[in-house]
Structure 1
Amino acid sequence: MKFSEAWLREWVNPQIDSNALCEQVTMAGLEVDEVEPVAGEFSGVVVGEVLECQQHPDADKLRVTQVNIGASEPVQIVCGAPNCRQGLKVAVATVGAVLPENFKIKKAKLRGQPSNGMLCSAKELALSDDHEGIMELPHDAPVGQDFREYLNLNDQSIDIDLTPNRADCLSIAGIAREVGVLNQLDVAPVEIGEVTQNSNRTLSVSVEAQDECPRYLGRIIENVDLSASTPIWMEEKLRRSGIRSIDPIVDVTNYVMLELGQPLHAFDAEKINGSIHVRMANNGELLTTLDEQEVKLSDNTLVIADDKGPIALAGIFGGLHSGVTKQSKTIFLESAFFAPLAITGRARQYGLHTDASHRYERGVDWQLQEKALQRASALIQQICGGQAGPVTVVENRDKLPKPQPITLRHGRLEKFVGQKFATEQVSEILTRLGLKVEQNDETWTAIAPSYRFDLEIEQDLIEEVARIYGYNEIPNEAPIAHLKMALTPEAKLPLSRLRDILINRDYQEAVTYSFVDPKKQQKLHPQQEAMDLPNPIASDMSQMRLSLWTGLLDTISYNQKRQQPRIRVFETGLRFIPEESEQLKVRQEPMISGAIVGPIADESWNGEHREVDFFDIKGDVEALIAASGCEDEFEFVKAENPALHPGQSAQILRSGKHVGWVGAIHPQLEKTYSLSGRVFMFELLQSALIEGEIPQIEPVSKFPSNRRDLAIVVNNSVNAADLIKCVQKNGTNQLVGVNLFDVYQGKGVPEGKKSIALSLTLQDKTHTLDEAEIVAIVDDIVAALKSEFDASLRD
């Protein structure tokens, strides 16, 4: 919410400066994001009147003017603005004036004609980007008055960031109420103005969707003059609130919305066919909005329609064909209360976001509609004239909000805030906030005003008392508690240990959204159902992730587009698997995932350039597994996953149970994610890694170890891991190590076969092994390999 400080001080004017005011509202929960001057720094600019405007004798695009600036004699100024004319009131930079960016005005000659000043555009005074011509001031602007003083330009625009529950502060009235409460000041009431009702014309209104629209008001105003200009005071207030002036009718509706917080809309009454109907749209109905976009409506959308079809998206945007134009003579002014849930998400559904939808989604005062309609009607008559008809009111009081009493307990308040409060002090704060309060012993029963629709439970009142009392007034006291050490099994690894392992292996930790693009996710997990979000923040963030891969692949793509060839990232977080048996119908599993792409190491003069491969990422996964001390329980089994390359993927099992995947991304997905180079990924359940074993202390053997190498010829289909398992199974206690150090195919090895070289490390704790013992152990292993894999020793 952006607003003018001067406008706020018309309502309530505490005796504090701008900095103190911003600090005060920030500490009250209305965080000030930005404070900026409403105009550039300039001096020496006054209000002037063009007395004469003649064509320059030597330049087609220049005019020679005589301008009254309140001095004893007019000054001659040469001007090139196309809208310069006799009788115009203008902003004049006199000789010696200093404009924004330290631009100084001096006497000059333009094509031989003296020029003693400059007629200014809004851009030259840093008021706006408009430089089409000089500023045109009202006819009653006082000649000779300092221009900054005339428009009160020693003002600031304050932009506050509101939490969604404080929609009551999306207006000057709401912010003034807050400032008044904080400073114990009364707020000046808005002057509605008298509406001259001199027409009997009405428009029939029917509300079919009464749950979504419990109250609808409208009024016909005839013979409005849209050639009239919006008053400069209104234009300025709108500009300082970040809204551009369009025409008097739109400006009035925007002004009242900013002033009171009630969105309004005006239709061209002559373009409405028959009656007004407030109803839900029919599937497939079409509406062309004011920005000339045609939208296809869904049946969950509330619309304003006439007898022929929709003419506006209720509470969001008007329709083009019923919109007010310069040719309009009769308008229908609408003021309604729409239930927040009827508007929430609908603007995003159609790719829109308007000031009206922003307010309706969060809630508006349900008693404000008639007041806002009367205020807008009075302003329209004041600016554009016209004859106002009677107000048409259609409402269902049973469907309107019904504030419920809220009970606040004294003991609960002091316990939550950690501060003692006097009974009278609490009653006074709640009353200042506009609540109807009854105090009984140690409790208060309060009913919130219609504009504070966010107050519903006791905790809301506790927050309000603490907020108005002042968070910075609450003493800083450390809590006193008797703490017990949590019982943490020694065998359980902390997640930080797994993170450290990957960081030490040159990974960078990433944190990505749990919300993902359903199109991308469906290609990663085509056979798995995902959880859709009912109100997503964007269409490409509308599903909960089924794995962490989606975010990591987007991260890699983002970095590759920024010339990062070598990327190693990992993430820890939850995945969300729909499952009816779960309490929330979704199973949330903590996962750890990683992805790598590019060279194995940064480019160096003494290093080999090699791209990462499957075994690099498998080694990283094995490092994580090794931390648990349960390597023997894990195995990698060749398997296929839709997200992974069929020939370079493996399922990870622990004690026969699936716990993760590792492999190269499927080639078809590289285009989906705009990837360059082969990406390798892994993902494991955190629970499979953090459940480890306590290391057991054993004496170190004092006797030497012996190594024996075996070169075994087996079929190509035999996995080396299966061979190693067989060796470990059939080796005796003296077998303390097995290592694969060579795989060979070629000359000397039959076709369809491969040679696998294993080194065996043998050692005993009680004596030095002699040759006969070593030979016996090796022979047993060779025999087992022969029996199970038809293996033979290579010649």
Structure 2
Amino acid sequence: SSFTSDPFVLGARELRGVVSNGMLASPSELALSDNHDGILEIDDSAAQPGASFAKLYGLDDLVIDCENKMFTHRPDCFGVLGVARELAGIFGKQFESPTWYRLDAETPTTVSNLELVSKNDIPTKVPRFMLQVIENITATDSSVQVQSWLNRSGSRPINNIVDATNFYMQLTAQPTHAFDYDKVKALCGGAVTIFPRMAVRGEKLELLNGKTVTLTEDDIVIATDKQAIALAGVMGGAATEVDQTTKNIVIECANFDMYTIRRTSMRHGIFSDAVTRFNKGQSPLQNPVVLSKIVADICSQTGAIAGKRFDSAPEESQFTWEPVAVTTTFINERLGSSLSAEIIQSLLVNVEFDVEIQDETVIVTPPFWRRDIEIPEDIVEEVGRLLGYDKLDIHLPRRSTAAVSKNENVEFKSRLRTILSRVGANEVVTYSFVSGKLLESAGQNKTEAYQLSNALSPELQYYRLTLTPSLLTKIYPNIRAGYDSFAIFELGKSHIKGQGVNDEGLPLENALLSFVFSANDSKVAKDAGAAYFNARAYLQYTAEQLGITLDFAPIETEPTYEITKPYDWQRSALVTDRATGNYIGIIGEFKAVVRKALKLPVHTAGFEVMLQPLLESSQTLYTYSPLSRFPGITQDISFKTDKSQTYGQLAETLDKAVTDLSAEQGFRTNLSPVDIYHKDKSPQKHMTFRLALTHPERTLTTTEVNAFIDTVVQAVESKVDVKRI
């Protein structure tokens, strides 16, 4: 009652059999907070009888509810200041942040002597960690005005200390947290110590929402020297909650790795306001600014005094970026506009960029809260958005109709596809990302693979080291589907940590061709021979079509390259270009452990070669020789040799002898392997080749052919320890 005479005691009364609170309302009913325990008592001196309640507490304004998903790359727009600044820029108005929201803002004077010890041993996970003690605070309800602001922005008012942290989070998009200093002290083994660390697997923590979580070593926690007291970037712990009995507090303001916070949130099913902001990548430069303002406000409103302050990264140069220089021509060409440097400067200054004009170049320094401005294209996007895309001329950009030169890499890949498809191989396209299990199954070292921070699936965590493991995963499903014999190939890229990075700091790329031939063991004829020769036939045919002669060298000792690890080095060969001697790749059959892990048939072989050496050695001109009108003669040549004799050496020597003699006598020849026969436990083996001969001008006689072959055999036997049989 507001009448001193005949006072009326306010209370609940029964009216027509129903308990009624009359026309009085609780804060919840007035949209000020969620408190419904009693009526609202107005103690504001500005409140006069007959005054508008809505106007007194700003309830007659408009609340704009933004869909923040569009701001994923703009953490500043998760605060009222950021959205207001953006709207001002869009409407061509110059925005000025509050004077306290500046890098040179005043820091509260330290008076309290309460002790505080901290450190930061995980700067990659916590780039900046700041604390400040406040002594002798009074924890009570916030003013009705502050409760109203928080309630309308989606935050539940708690008390003046917690409300201060939430208020400035809603304003600046920088989450902070308040710890009860004395409760923290009780959980320390000695001096009051608060610091960030990685959690211990199995460690438990009760949170402010009453939920107890079991932590993993991938979670960041804020801890004392004895236990965790908060789940960093997600939610505070119940044991150090600020309540009505709190007298001293510690304010924490930090910057956390956004990917770690995102995974922690998903792992524990906690989606707080802090998570929403931290997983967007806040600027570490605003930590001291926001911390100073919160401390100053609490001290002035409660009569408290500021205490010790800790900053893990006081040297801020590591967080600053270089200005971005861009010409007006660069911007106008991409926007289809004709903006002057002065107009561009005005648009950017409106949203508090620092812009300097040098002739037709604008040098742009983004404000400390903008972490997304790195390259000239970022400036183009900013200018276009602030100008308004609806104001740009709607016409197609001019382009020359002159023919462009063909990309040799694209053309070469197309050529390879045509060659391999011509002989029945099928191209497949697999994911560039693979699981750690697949890398281990292929015998490769997953620590050499780049791991994704935000993988779509556990099966897609690593960038592949080579293409072969991906192809091998397609063999078993096709065998089960009833394909008894098939060949598949893939053209793609891989990355290996050990190969380093390029000038831009990006991983070096390896362009590769991988091929696998496989046949169902139950369908393979007993005399079919080794799968190695099937793969080799495909590779040699491909090389011939490219005008390249390959050499296949046996492997002396097991290599340690990632490209060779899936292969059985004793049943494989290194491939080189005969003309240049350049290493190209590997061909062979796969290790037994790889076959077992991936359920491969024994009759499986493949090769993986690098595209660049192939491209450099390939011949683009095709030669044509008319077919001879005269009949040819085909004869087989068999050699007996020691079992240690390699096929490659004998084939190379024979091919050279045939090539040299046919050039001398004008013959046309074609040499191909027939078989290799080695009886068990025999010290010798037989190798057979088939030689086809023709002459462009006459029919060859038996005498000529025999003389030719005898000469070739003599040349071979003089260089290799073999005998013709």
Q: Distance in 1 between matches of 2:634 and 2:529?
A: 33
What's the CA shift for 1:770? 1.8
The structure in which a higher percent of residues are helix is 2
Identity of aligned residues (%): 17
Counterpart Cα distance in 1 of 2:306 and 2:444: 58
Looking at structure 1, the residues matched to 294 and 723 of structure 2 have their Cα atoms a distance apart, in angstroms, of 92
1:399 matched to 2:296: no
What is the one-letter code of the residue matched to 1:665? F
Name the structure 1 match of 2:634.
Answer: 707
For residues 170-319 of structure 1, what are the structure 2 equivalents within 5 Å? 170-184=78-92, 203-205=114-116, 213=128, 216-219=131-134, 221-222=137-138, 238=154, 256-273=168-185, 289=205, 290=207, 292-293=213-214, 308=225, 311=228, 316=233
What pairs up with 1:620-769 in 2 under 5 angstroms? 620-630=538-548, 632-635=549-552, 637=554, 640=558, 641-655=564-578, 656-670=581-595, 675=599, 677=601, 680-690=605-615, 691-693=617-619, 694-710=621-637, 712-731=639-658, 732-733=661-662, 734=667, 736-741=669-674, 753-754=684-685, 756-769=687-700
- C-alpha contact (below 8 Å) 1:202/1:219 kept by paired residues: no
Compared CA separation, residues 724 and 281, structure 1 to 2 (3 A): closer
Q: CA separation of 1:67/1:160 partners in 2, compared to 1, >3 Å: closer, same or farther?
A: farther
Q: Which residue type is aligned with residue 609 of structure 2?
A: L
The Cα offsets for residues 450-499 of structure 1, whole Å up to 9 and x where unpaired, read as: 43354577765444222211345433443456978659899x97122113
Query: Distance in 1 between the 2:131 and 2:233 partners?
Result: 15
| SS, match of residue 494 in structure 1 | helix
User: In the TM superposition, what whole-angstrom CA distance separates every residue of 1:223-264 from its partner, at most 9, and x where no partner exists?
Assistant: 5589xxx9899678549xxxxx89878798567534530111
**Residue equivalent to 2:339:** 421
What residue number does 1:594 align with? 515
Check the 8 A contact 1:579/1:585 in 2, yes or no. no
For 1:737, give the aligned amino acid: N
Q: What secondary structure does 1:791 align onto?
A: strand
Please tell me whether residue 369 in structure 1 is matched to residue 291 in structure 2. yes
1:643 to partner: Cα distance: 2.6
Q: What secondary structure does 1:704 align onto? A: coil
Shift of 1:634: 3.3
Alpha-carbon distance in 2 for matches of 1:775, 1:572: 49
Contact 2:348 2:355 in 1 (8 A): yes
**SS of match in other structure, 1:510:** coil
TM-score after normalising by structure 2? 0.65
The question of whether the paired residues in 2 share the 8 Å contact of 1:577 and 1:588 is answered with no
Q: Is the 8 A contact 1:518 1:541 kept in 2?
A: no
Distance 1:160 1:484, change over 3 A: same
Q: CA deviation at 1:524?
A: 2.8
Q: Which amino acid aligns with 1:766?
A: E
Inter-CA distance 408–592: structure 2 relative to 1 (3 Å threshold): closer
Residues 751 and 635 (structure 1), Cα distance of their counterparts in 2 relative to 1, 3 Å cut: closer
**Pairing of 1:294-693 with structure 2 (within 5 A):** 308=225, 311=228, 316=233, 320=237, 322-324=239-241, 332=249, 334-336=251-253, 338=255, 343=257, 347=261, 354-355=275-276, 357-359=278-280, 362-363=283-284, 365-366=286-287, 367-371=289-293, 389-392=304-307, 394=309, 399-400=315-316, 410=328, 413-414=331-332, 417-422=335-340, 425-435=343-353, 448-455=366-373, 460-475=378-393, 476-479=395-398, 486=405, 494-503=412-421, 505-513=424-432, 517=436, 520=439, 524-525=443-444, 546-553=465-472, 556=474, 560=477, 568-576=488-496, 578=498, 588-595=509-516, 599=520, 613-630=531-548, 632-635=549-552, 637=554, 640=558, 641-655=564-578, 656-670=581-595, 675=599, 677=601, 680-690=605-615, 691-693=617-619
- SS of residue matched to 1:683: strand
Q: State yes or no: 1:791 paired with 2:709.
A: no
Letter matched to residue 624 of structure 2: I
Please give the alpha-carbon distance, in whole angstroms, between the structure 1 residues aligned to 2:618 and 2:242. Answer: 74
Q: Give the C-alpha shift of residue 357 in structure 1.
A: 4.0
Separation of aligned partners in 1, 2:595 and 2:649:
33
Summarize the Cα distance change of 1:233–1:469 in structure 2 as closer, same or farther, 3 Å threshold. Answer: closer
Structure 1 residue 551, shift from structure 2 partner: 4.6
Distance across 1 between alignment mates of 2:280 and 2:408:
52
Amino acid at match of 1:736: T
Contact 1:728 1:735 in 2 (8 A): no
Partner of 1:29: none
* CA–CA separation in structure 2 for the residues paired with 1:588 and 1:684: 14
Equivalent runs, 1:32-43 vs 2, <5 Å: none
**SS in structure 2 at match of 1:593:** strand
Give the structure 2 partner of residue 772 of structure 1.
Answer: 703
What pairs up with 1:112-131 in 2 under 5 angstroms? Answer: none
Aligned equivalents of 1:561, 1:140: Cα separation in 2: 74
1:288–1:319 Cα contact (<8 Å) kept: no
Give the letter for the 1:695 counterpart: Y
Amino acid at match of 1:571: L
Mapped to 2, the partners of 1:561 and 1:269 lie a distance apart of: 65
Q: Distance in 2 between matches of 1:439 and 1:317?
A: 43
Encode CA deviations 1:79-112: one digit per residue, 9 max, x unaligned. Answer: xxxxxxxx99999xxxxxxxxxxxxxxxxxxxxx
Question: C-alpha offsets along residues 730-771 of structure 1, whole Å, 9 cap, x if unaligned?
Answer: 44423512333455677xx99555555543222112211122
Cα distance in 1, alignment partners of residues 223 and 265 from structure 2 = 21
What's the counterpart of residue 103 of structure 2?
none
Q: In 2, Cα distance between the equivalents of 1:614 and 1:550?
A: 17
Secondary structure, in 3 states, of the residue corresponding to 2:337? coil
Question: Normalising by the residue count of structure 1, what TM-score does the alignment of the two structures yield?
Answer: 0.60
2:118 and 2:642 mapped to 1: Cα distance?
80
> SS of 1:365's equivalent?
helix
Task: Give the Cα–Cα distance (whole angstroms) in 2 for the partners of residues 549 and 501 of structure 1.
Answer: 19
1:168 equivalent in alignment to 2:88: no
**Alpha-carbon distance between aligned partners in 2 of 1:740 and 1:278, rounded to the nearest angstrom:** 75
Give unmatched runs, 5+ long, in structure 1: 1-48, 53-64, 71-86, 92-134, 142-149, 193-199, 240-244, 382-386
CA shift digits 1:249-307 (9 cap, x unpaired)? 87985675345301111323332117655667699999755554456699xx8x8665x
Per-residue displacement from partner, 1:112-132 (whole Å, max 9, x unpaired)?
xxxxxxxxxxxxxxxxxxxxx
Partners of 2:724 and 2:627 in 1: CA distance: 34
Q: 1:436 to 1:709 in 2, by over 3 A?
A: closer
Tell whether the 8 Å contact from 1:207 to 1:213 is kept in structure 2 after alignment. Answer: no
Q: Distance in 1 between matches of 2:120 and 2:707?
A: 90
Contact 1:511 1:571 in 2 (8 A): no
Q: Give unpaired runs (5+ residues) of structure 2.
A: 1-11, 41-58, 101-110, 268-274, 559-563
Q: Kindly state the Cα deviation for residue 139 of structure 1 after the two structures are TM-superposed.
A: 6.9
